[in-house]
Amino acid sequence: MGDVIRTERLFKRFGKTQTPAVDGVSLLVGRGEIYGFLGLNGAGKTTTIRMLLGMIRPDSGASYLLGKKVSAGRTEVWTKVGYMVETPYSYPELTVRENLELVRRLRRIADVRAIDAVLEKLQLTPYRDRKAKNLSLGNAQRLGLAKALIHKPEILILDEPTNGLDPAGIVEIRELLRELAAEHGVTIFLSSHLLGEVTKLATRIGIVHRGRLVRETDVGELQRDLQKSLLVNTRDAEAARVKLTEAGYRVERTAEGAMALTGGSAIARPESVARLLVQANLPPTLLKVQEEDLETYFLRTIGMEGGAEIS
Ligand code: ATP
């Protein structure tokens, strides 16, 4: 059995709530894969991950890591797993280095150089002597990742790993995760509510909605499915709308007052749109190809198919 992560019909209901938090989620993730677990807030991502790690017990169903069944108290598999679930907790009065030293001891890692190596990897060396409570949100997140990585796990399970990071930090973490998967064969399972972010990194995607796995695809397929539009604006949006419509473009006004052109020709040749506007003395102030986000994708596909409301 080559699956590194497997869940079988995981089910969890909290108290007497009507809708289960997780409702029959079965997943398979192979070695070296980067699996993006996508869902809106409250969709059931964190609860699934907690069950996957044995932090909470499912009402029914089971999960397996490296072929071994996960259950509370069964800790041997944890030596091969790194995880970060929700906002990572660190001891606020201890420095970055001291926090990592604690994890090193807990994990019984003999080599003290593991700390410097992971500090370097996460670009935390300049902050090594700073107390955790004085870290920026992004660096606190990096420290969380450092703790998840210090023992060089085979599996990395991350809940919204780029929370709080700025765009440069997001790129950096993406590169790091990509390298771990490609060069070290680490299997990565990460959750997010940001479709654009996950499609840049994951090889396979599972979409969870109201506790159910509603779609599983490889990332190329999802990207082909995503609707793209060319966002355009000028100083006189109405005049530009008339001009573009006359030229045969399909134009919709956006809530922000700009225009979205949805036809294939606009997306393939944005420069033609720019030229037309310049010639009409309406030079563009905005010209950008944009992919739809998770909410819009839901409304257009899953929401319509299943009649599910987005809440
Ligand atoms: P988020 O990104 O907001 O954390 P999520 O997709 O991770 O969302 P979960 O945190 O798994 O979603 O929550 C799924 C549902 O279960 C939500 O309706 C949530 O309110 C509920 N829930 C989660 N944990 C508990 C708990 N300990 N007690 C009661 N309800 C809970």
Mean pLDDT of 105-111: 92
Query: With 90 as the cut, is the pLDDT of residue 77 above it?
Result: no
Tokens representing residue 285 in the block: 């102030």
Tens digits of residue pLDDT in 268-300: 899 999 999 999 999 999 999 988 887 778 777
Tens digits of residue pLDDT in 230-275: 999 999 989 999 999 999 999 998 888 899 998 878 888 999 999 9
CA of 22 to the centre of ligand 1 (A): 9
Helix (H) or strand (E) holding 71: none
Query: With 90 as the cut, is the pLDDT of residue 86 above it?
Result: no
Mean pLDDT of 115-124: 94
Q: Is 19 in the pocket of ligand 1 (CB under 6 A)?
A: no
Other beta carbons within 10 angstroms of residue 163's beta carbon come to: 20
Q: Is 50 in the pocket of ligand 1 (CB under 6 A)?
A: no
In this predicted structure, what is the pLDDT of residue 310?
47
CA of 44 to the centre of ligand 1 (A): 6
Query: With 90 as the cut, is the pLDDT of residue 206 above it?
Result: yes
Q: How many CA atoms lie within 13 Å of 271's alpha carbon, on the beta-carbon side?
A: 0
Tokens representing residue 255 in the block: 């809530």
CA of 37 to the centre of ligand 1 (A): 15
Q: In the beta sheet, which residues pair with residue 93? A: none
Q: Is 42 in the pocket of ligand 1 (CB under 6 A)?
A: yes
| Residue of minimum CA distance from atom 24 in ligand 1 | 47
Q: How many CA atoms lie within 13 Å of 193's alpha carbon, on the beta-carbon side?
A: 12
Q: Is 45 in the pocket of ligand 1 (CB under 6 A)?
A: yes
CA of 57 to the centre of ligand 1 (A): 15
pLDDT band with cut points at 50, 70 and 90 for residue 311: very low
Q: Is 163 in the pocket of ligand 1 (CB under 6 A)?
A: no
pLDDT band with cut points at 50, 70 and 90 for residue 166: confident
| Residue of minimum CA distance from atom 27 in ligand 1 | 14
Predicted TM-score (pTM) of the model is 0.82
| Residue of minimum CA distance from atom 21 in ligand 1 | 21
Q: Is 169 in the pocket of ligand 1 (CB under 6 A)?
A: no
Largest CA distance in the chain: 72
Mean pLDDT of 103-130: 94
| Residue of minimum CA distance from atom 25 in ligand 1 | 14
Looking at the CA of residue 86, tell me the nearest atom of ligand 1: 4
Query: With 80 as the cut, is the pLDDT of residue 74 above it?
Result: no
How far apart CA 221 and CA 267 sit, in angstroms, is 19
* Phi, psi (rounded to 5 degrees) for 268: -70, -30
Helix axes 96-106, 137-149, angle to 10 degrees: 20
| Residue of minimum CA distance from atom 9 in ligand 1 | 44
Q: Percentage of the chain with pLDDT > 90? A: 57
CA of 43 to the centre of ligand 1 (A): 7
By mean pLDDT, which of 6-15, 70-79, 149-158, 301-310 is the weakest? Answer: 301-310
